[in-house]
Structure 1
């Protein structure tokens, strides 16, 4: 019967061109097939938003802890790869400790900035339409995360960059990086470098947050125990 429900919904979502009337008709088919309490369009949208906010809350909480980035190999921010030769050269001349100190403070900056991520993400969710919600509900395990990446990355970066810059300054990552680059640029016969640390750290911090949100989304989709409210259980049960 649950497979029949998926067939009903898939037919109505061809090319994503369904109207509110068609969606409500589809909901009727799903509820008839599943024998569940009526599931409305508003509940589906609310359930998806609730799932996203849950994932964002958990993800940003994980990231903002001490070592949330630094000791998580999946999201740890490394020395900027476009100037990897700086790290290699400095380690060769005995400045490995300074490089390690910088990488740690770089991640500390991301951890500090992650505290401010939740309201930025939550505001982005408010623009989700009914069409978006249905596409997400029937999408891959990270469909909601991909929706956020697609629709919010530019705005998120613009808002997040001053936050990360302030955090990098606060933990002295900017100073350490400036010292490292200055030292490197004094080495004879090397090509001078001066990359934008704020841009790099902002991109990597956001990338890490999206990774954690995607993990939480996948849990909610796959694991009934991760659905901590009645609304989440109701909406996602129809997809199991």
Structure 2
């Protein structure tokens, strides 16, 4: 059971007898919203710093956990036919491509945090763990995908990844079946790069949510000091 939540952290600053409405009022105050923004911005910076470093990106379990099933199936198939070296290259290329999305993602995320409203803060304090990240995801995920997918596609094609994967599995129909029996052209335009971009977006939100959960005590102490 996840008890280390923003809801509990915020309620912990209240004295005995303080109502839930008072907790919401505290979180939705200017200071309360500033604290929530600070935590989200910390998570964003942490995630984008990881994206900026290939080795950090490759080693991060939260990013690996975000790997779409289709791309995981492709990697499993490649390994089964003895092409583990291609899987290693694929992961390295995706990690390199991630670094080129940082400057695009940062302003989108920061603008969303800066537009956090009292209504958002009330939802966060009432909703519990991970809700702040969920709100950020709702505000930005579609925009992030639209913004970074072309950059990811350009980089992966520059590295020759799509061509390499198509060549490695040509004639087997394995790649097409994994991707829903798409033809090669569709795989190039809608497949590998899209899955890689989705991994980046989901992996980034995983990092932000983890940061949010780890900093519940920071939220509590900050709000307590401001009370």
Both proteins in one fold, TM over 0.5: yes
Count of aligned pairs between the two proteins: 204
Q: Hey, what's the Cα distance between the residues in 2 that align with 1:186 and 1:130?
A: 57
Q: Which moved more, 1:73-82 or 1:108-117?
A: 73-82
Alignment of 1:122 onto 2:110: yes
When the two structures are superposed, what TM-score results if normalisation uses the length of structure 2? 0.73
Structure with greater helix percent: 2
Partner of 1:178: 163
Q: Hey, what's the Cα distance between the residues in 2 that align with 1:4 and 1:11?
A: 13
Tell me: CA distance 1:5–1:108, structure 2 relative to 1, closer, same or farther (3 Å): farther
Partner of 2:146: 158
Partner of 1:32: none
Does the CA-based 8 Å contact 2:66-2:199 persist in structure 1?
A: no
Q: Which has the higher contact order (CA 8 A, sep 6+)?
A: 2
Partner of 1:132: 120
Tell me: CA distance 1:236–1:176, structure 2 relative to 1, closer, same or farther (3 Å): farther
Alignment of 1:203 onto 2:191: no
Runs of 5+ consecutive residues of structure 2 not aligned to the other structure: 1-11, 177-183
Partner of 1:35: none
Tell me: CA distance 1:186–1:47, structure 2 relative to 1, closer, same or farther (3 Å): same
Does the CA-based 8 Å contact 1:70-1:77 persist in structure 2?
A: no
Does the CA-based 8 Å contact 1:221-1:236 persist in structure 2?
A: no
Partner of 2:93: 105
Q: Which moved more, 1:119-128 or 1:190-199?
A: 190-199
Tell me: CA distance 1:89–1:211, structure 2 relative to 1, closer, same or farther (3 Å): closer
SS at structure 1 position matched to 2:151 = helix
Q: Hey, what's the Cα distance between the residues in 1 that align with 2:198 and 2:86?
A: 23
Q: Hey, what's the Cα distance between the residues in 1 that align with 2:90 and 2:64?
A: 13
Aligned-residue CA RMSD (Å): 3.3
How far 1:128 sits from its partner (Å)?
Answer: 1.8
How far 1:144 sits from its partner (Å)?
Answer: 0.8
SS at structure 1 position matched to 2:138 = helix
Cα displacement string for residues 44-86 of structure 1 (whole angstroms, at most 9, x for unaligned residues)? 2222222211221122112322222211222127876326665
How far 1:184 sits from its partner (Å)?
Answer: 0.8
Partner of 2:180: none
Q: Hey, what's the Cα distance between the residues in 2 that align with 1:145 and 1:70?
A: 22
Q: Hey, what's the Cα distance between the residues in 2 that align with 1:84 and 1:212?
A: 20
Q: Hey, what's the Cα distance between the residues in 1 that align with 2:51 and 2:126?
A: 28
Runs of 5+ consecutive residues of structure 1 not aligned to the other structure: 14-22, 28-38
